[in-house]
Amino acid sequence: MAISVKVHEAFFSGHFVLNDNLDERTMLHHLGKNDPEGVILDEVDGNVKGAFCVFLGQRLYECKQLTKVKLGVNFTQEFTNRFDRIARLYQGDDQPWDFKLLEYMTFPTVKIEEAEVAA
């Protein structure tokens, strides 16, 4: 059964759905390999699925930052190209996947609108 995880970090926010084919042992393997001090796992009080989603969010953030520098780069495609060996991002029902990205936002977000001011 898939599990839904929402992450709110200082630089990003995301809503992930983890496929049940991705087990905790695999998640711990990638966390240990990429965060050997266990900082991410400590930040979420040992919740492996939460830590793994934070880790995925950080990798997605790297890809999102790259899109600011290289125009025409799709950040989810960039994630697939760079991190597919860690977790496969959902790209359609006909392909195997490890997680779906329901929502993802990087911070800070700035929206400027012109406003009419009554005199």
Three-state DSSP string of 24-36: HHHHHHHHHHHCC
**Out of 52-56, 60-64, 84-88, 114-118, least confident range:** 114-118
> Which H/E stretch holds residue 12?
strand 12-18
**Out of 4-8, 13-17, 112-116, least confident range:** 112-116
pLDDT averaged over every residue in the chain: 90
**Please, which pLDDT band fits residue 110 given cuts at 50, 70 and 90?**
low
Question: Is 14 in contact with 60 (CB distance < 8 Å)?
Answer: yes
Quick one: average pLDDT of 46-69? 93
Residue 118 has a pLDDT of 75
Question: Is 67 in contact with 78 (CB distance < 8 Å)?
Answer: yes
Alpha carbons 116 and 71: distance in angstroms, whole number: 33
Question: Is 12 in contact with 107 (CB distance < 8 Å)?
Answer: yes
Residue 1 has a pLDDT of 76
CA 46 to chain centre: 18
> Comparing C-alpha atoms, which of 68, 59, 74, 80 is closest to residue 14?
59
Strand 12-18 with 99-106, pairing: antiparallel
Quick one: average pLDDT of 92-97? 90
Question: Is 12 in contact with 104 (CB distance < 8 Å)?
Answer: yes
Sketch the domain layout of the chain as residue ranges. 2-106
Q: Is pLDDT at 92 greater than 70 in this prediction?
A: yes
Q: Is pLDDT at 119 greater than 70 in this prediction?
A: no
| Percent with pLDDT over 70 in the chain | 97
Tokens 């890809």, residue?
Answer: 63
